[in-house]
Structure 1
Amino acid sequence: MPTLHIELFAGRTPEKKRELVEALTSETCRVLGCEPGAVDIILIDVERENWATGGKMWSES
């Protein structure tokens, strides 16, 4: 069973998260030839103060 771990900035609406998991599930099934019930997706909300890129905190951008 494929399990996808997705980290994203906190603040997305439940509707946007639903849209994302539907799209990811569909593509995963298409590429891997599995059933939707076999796909697990774990969304991890991360606050901007806990994420940095290129040595800079996103909360300071």
Structure 2
Amino acid sequence: MEQIIEAKREEKPRPDAPEPEKPGRVLDLMAALEEAVSAAKAPAARTPTYTSCRGRRRP
């Protein structure tokens, strides 16, 4: 970063950035969105019947 700042101050061409060693992970955004929408549309799992603190089941 310092080299870039110095080059800019002295009005020299910007130094070349080094190439990354390995490419970053690429995500398929549409596939992720479709998966999230499908999960949201799926029926929710049934929850157990609510019981009060006294142990009686509510209707």
TM-score calculated relative to the size of structure 1: 0.28
More helix by share: 1
More strand by share: 1
The one of the two structures with greater contact order (alpha-carbon pairs below 8 A, sep at least 6) is: 1
Tell me which structure has the larger Cα radius of gyration.
Answer: 2
TM-score calculated relative to the size of structure 2: 0.29
